[in-house]
């Protein structure tokens, strides 16, 4: 029977450690590491996500500030807010909840965030650092995937990994992190030919396509480790709603281990956001005068 890799339990342990580290930082610097969350518009899902992130900040002692703007907020207003947050020494992490309303160019807004405060890890400077293996802030979901994978498989050198999905927020950064750890990585997308055969060769499958039950039991090599990132809302035969991943979980008993959905990668994403906020605060305090943003934007 495949072992279940619990993201819920791992995230709880991570949060407990974070609470101690945040308390140490706050004592040493006379202020808590602080996340500014920017919410534009009234998308109900975005509101819930931001509320959850702020609740979790409070749990570990991080400061948090929520900036809400109406759906008619202009790009210039939002850029002005980002500029203020970049300059505010009491703000260590900036998170802009996506999606943004259509009048705002999301890429322009994300590019305006100080890379040292970019706790989502989406800024091109952090993307570049990840791809060159030179540090920087790592996107939260990929970081959570790696923590769960390495809790089961600490040594990744020489393993063959298939990543299903090539998005900038999950697939590509996961692939880069796996490469950095010495895996041989195949990154797949919706045009990939022979996805089942590629998966059958893999020691590790990271499924991030957003397709319910895409990965079937006979795609999985015995003893493989499966990280299921997918979050798919489904309606069961009883008419009740639920959430499932990209992997047909009931067919992978012959795998070594897998992350469940829900309770796998999901809880790790927020925990890693909090970790990034602490990391950003430490880096800003350690090197306030060699800010990448100053060089890049002044």
Retrieve residue 279's tokens: 């990391």
141 interacts with ligand NAD by CB under 6 A: yes
- Tell me the CA end-to-end span of the chain in Å, nearest whole number: 57
190/43 Cα distance (integer angstroms): 28
The response to whether 135 counts as a known ligand-binding position is no
* Closer to ligand NAD by Cβ: residue 84 or 190: 190
Given candidates 219, 230, 252, 281, which one binds ligand NAD under the rule CB under 6 A? 230
CB atoms within 10 A of CB 290: 9
Q: From the centroid of its chain, how far is CA 121?
A: 8
243 interacts with ligand NAD by CB under 6 A: no
Considering the complex, what minimum distance in angstroms separates the CB of residue 15 from ligand NAD?
A: 15
Given candidates 139, 165, 173, 260, which one binds ligand NAD under the rule CB under 6 A? 165
Q: What is the DSSP letter of 37?
A: E
142 interacts with ligand NAD by CB under 6 A: no
User: Stretches 29-37, 74-82, 162-170, 252-260: which one binds ligand NAD (CB under 6 A)?
Assistant: 162-170
Q: Side by side, which strands form the sheet with 93-96?
A: 63-69, 34-40, 93-96
227 interacts with ligand NAD by CB under 6 A: no
Of 87, 75, 78, nearest to 39 by C-alpha is 78
Of 202, 56, 192, nearest to 119 by C-alpha is 56
171 interacts with ligand NAD by CB under 6 A: yes
278 interacts with ligand NAD by CB under 6 A: no
Given candidates 248, 269, 277, 293, which one binds ligand NAD under the rule CB under 6 A? 269
Considering the complex, what minimum distance in angstroms separates the CB of residue 191 from ligand NAD?
A: 7
* Closer to ligand NAD by Cβ: residue 83 or 152: 152
> What length does the chain have?
298
The response to whether 59 counts as a known ligand-binding position is no
* Closer to ligand NAD by Cβ: residue 244 or 255: 244
The secondary structure of 182-219, three-state, reads: CCEEEEECCCCCCHHHHHHCCCEEEECCCCCCCECHHH
Catalytic, 103? Answer no
Retrieve residue 47's tokens: 């509101």
Question: Binders of ligand NAD among 172-211, rule CB under 6 A?
Answer: 188-190, 192, 195, 208-211
Catalytic, 53? Answer yes
Is residue 182 within 8 A of residue 266, CB to CB? The reply is: no
- Out of 118, 120, 203, 228, pick the active-site residue: 120
Residues 6+ apart with CB under 8 A from 55: none
The response to whether 252 counts as a known ligand-binding position is no
> What φ, ψ does residue 89 adopt, rounded to 5°?
-70, -15
# residues near ligand NAD by CB under 6 A: 25
Whole-angstrom Cα Rg for the chain: 20
231 interacts with ligand NAD by CB under 6 A: yes
Residues labelled catalytic: 53, 97, 120
Q: Which residues bind ligand NAD (CB under 6 A)?
A: 141, 164-167, 169-171, 188-190, 192, 195, 208-211, 214, 229-232, 265-266, 269
Instruction: Extract the annotated binding site for NADP(+).
Output: 165-167, 231
């Amino acid at each position: 029977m495949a072992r279940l890799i619990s993201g819920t339990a791992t995230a709880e342990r991570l949060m407990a450690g974070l609470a101690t580290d945040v308390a140490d930082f706050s004592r040493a610097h006379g202020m808590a590491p602080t996340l500014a969350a920017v919410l534009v518009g009234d998308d109900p899902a975005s509101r819930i996500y931001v509320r959850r992130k702020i609740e979790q900040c409070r749990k570990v002692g991080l400061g948090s500030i929520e900036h809400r703007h109406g759906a008619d907020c202009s790009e210039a207003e939002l850029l002005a807010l980002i500029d203020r947050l970049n300059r505010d020494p009491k703000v260590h992490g900036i998170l802009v909840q996506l999606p943004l309303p259509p009048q705002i160019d999301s890429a322009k807004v994300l590019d305006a965030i100080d890379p040292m405060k970019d706790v989502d890890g989406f800024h091109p400077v952090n993307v570049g650092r990840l791809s060159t293996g030179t540090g920087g802030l790592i996107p939260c979901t990929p970081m959570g995937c790696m923590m769960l994978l390495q809790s089961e498989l600490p040594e990744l050198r020489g393993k063959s990994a298939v990543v299903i999905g090539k998005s900038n927020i999950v697939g590509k950064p996961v692939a880069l992190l796996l490469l950095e750890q010495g895996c041989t990585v195949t990154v797949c997308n919706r045009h990939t030919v022979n996805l089942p055969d590629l998966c059958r060769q893999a020691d590790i499958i990271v499924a991030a396509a957003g397709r319910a039950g895409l990965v079937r039991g006979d795609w999985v090599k015995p003893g493989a480790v499966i990280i299921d990132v997918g979050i798919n809302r489904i309606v069961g035969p009883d008419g009740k709603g639920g959430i499932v991943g990209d992997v047909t979980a009931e067919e992978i008993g012959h795998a070594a281990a897998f992350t469940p959905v829900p309770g796998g990668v999901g809880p790790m994403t927020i925990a890693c956001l909090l970790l990034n906020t602490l990391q950003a605060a430490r880096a800003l305090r350690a090197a306030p005068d060699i800010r990448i943003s100053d060089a890049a934007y002044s």
